[in-house]
């Protein structure tokens, strides 16, 4: 399946998973890149009309899982505002996941919320998205806290869920120990961590553990790899390029297909502000890698 022939059934080709009581297709969409070429570093803002068109096209192609955050903004663009403008009134099956704990002031400076401040961040997402509740909220753990406890912050989110502001809870950038801490407080429907070809054994083990618990594992940087926010790495290995040539697809599509192959509970949320890249990403859900392909890729 190529971008030129992709249909509205494309996102369904990879199957579905449930986040609590919400069914999502395994190929979703990450909203960060809608706001600019380098959203957190003063990059060139995306064309607003194009960003809105990309969101609408994603839904047309069957995507019903969008990942966003209130701190996804550039000088002139807000991901949440774009989602609201493009898609409200929202389709009944559309699941919007957001994340809290990090925050940014209007100048772009970062801060980290206290447990008491999480309600304000949740309400900010509600206002921007124009919703009375959030489908999924991920607690995004600061890099400096990955050896610490998340119980107090996750407990505060659980209280907001009990108050009806949040439907389901997830965690992001966590260790296995922190996932266990969260599960002692409330159900967790997803773990959103960095993962892709070449990922460390620690993340492999966490992915496996999520499968045992029927928790969705939602990788970020599945395409970008070591390059992270700036975009896909220019240093893809020869095996990745070889498999891509054999299938007649882009390297990014092989990276996504490999990620989805890691388990039925693994979701993908590739982000882009480019309509062509969007169709490539969605089409990757229909790619089937052979045993030979997987062996060459090291899996």
Residues with catalytic annotation?
72
Beta-bridge mates of residue 138: 99, 170
**Structure tokens belonging to residue 96:** 């919007």
Query: Left (φ > 0), alpha (ψ -120 to 50) or beta: where does 199 sit?
Result: beta
Alpha-carbon distance of 66 to 99, in angstroms, equals 12
Closest among 203, 221, 212 to 269, alpha carbons compared: 221
Write down the residue that tokens 């449930």 correspond to: 18
| Helical segments of the chain, H only | 48-60, 79-87, 118-129, 151-162, 176-183, 201-212, 238-247, 251-261, 275-283, 291-297
Alpha-carbon distance of 207 to 202, in angstroms, equals 9
3-state secondary structure 217-265: ECCECCCCHHHCCCCCCCCCCHHHHHHHHHHCCCHHHHHHHHHHHCCCC
Alpha-carbon distance of 205 to 199, in angstroms, equals 11
Q: Is 137 exposed, middle or buried (0-12, 13-18, 19+ CB in 10 A)?
A: buried
What is the DSSP code (8-state) at residue 273? S
């Amino acid at each position: 399946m190529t971008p030129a022939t992709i249909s509205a059934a494309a996102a369904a080709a990879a199957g579905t998973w449930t986040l609590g009581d919400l069914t999502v297709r395994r190929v979703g969409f990450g909203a960060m890149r809608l706001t600019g070429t380098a959203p957190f570093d003063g990059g060139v803002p995306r064309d607003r009309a194009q960003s809105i068109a990309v969101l609408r096209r994603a839904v047309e192609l069957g995507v019903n899982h969008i990942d966003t955050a209130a701190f996804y903004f550039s000088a002139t663009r807000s991901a949440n505002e774009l989602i609201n403008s493009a898609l409200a009134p929202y389709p009944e099956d559309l699941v919007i996941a957001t994340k809290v704990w990090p925050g940014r002031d209007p100048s772009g400076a970062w801060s980290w919320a206290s447990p008491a401040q999480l309600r304000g961040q949740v309400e900010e997402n509600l206002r921007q998205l124009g919703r009375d509740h959030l489908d999924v909220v991920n607690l995004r753990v600061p890099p400096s806290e990955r050896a610490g406890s998340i119980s107090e912050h996750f407990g505060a989110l659980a209280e907001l869920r009990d108050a009806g502001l949040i439907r389901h809870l997830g965690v992001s950038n966590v260790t296995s120990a922190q996932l266990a801490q969260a599960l002692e407080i409330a159900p967790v429907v997803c773990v959103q961590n960095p993962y892709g070809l070449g990922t460390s054994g620690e993340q492999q083990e966490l992915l496996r553990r999520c499968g045992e618990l029927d928790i969705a594992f939602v990788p970020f940087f599945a395409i970008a790899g070591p390059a992270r926010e700036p975009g896909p790495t220019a240093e893809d290995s020869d095996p990745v390029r070889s498999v891509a040539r054999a299938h007649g697809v882009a390297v990014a599509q092989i990276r996504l297909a490999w990620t989805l192959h890691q388990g039925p509970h693994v979701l993908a949320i590739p982000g882009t502000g480019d309509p062509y890249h969007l169709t490539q990403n969605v089409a990757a859900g229909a790619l089937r890698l052979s045993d030979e392909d997987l062996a060459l890729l090291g899996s």
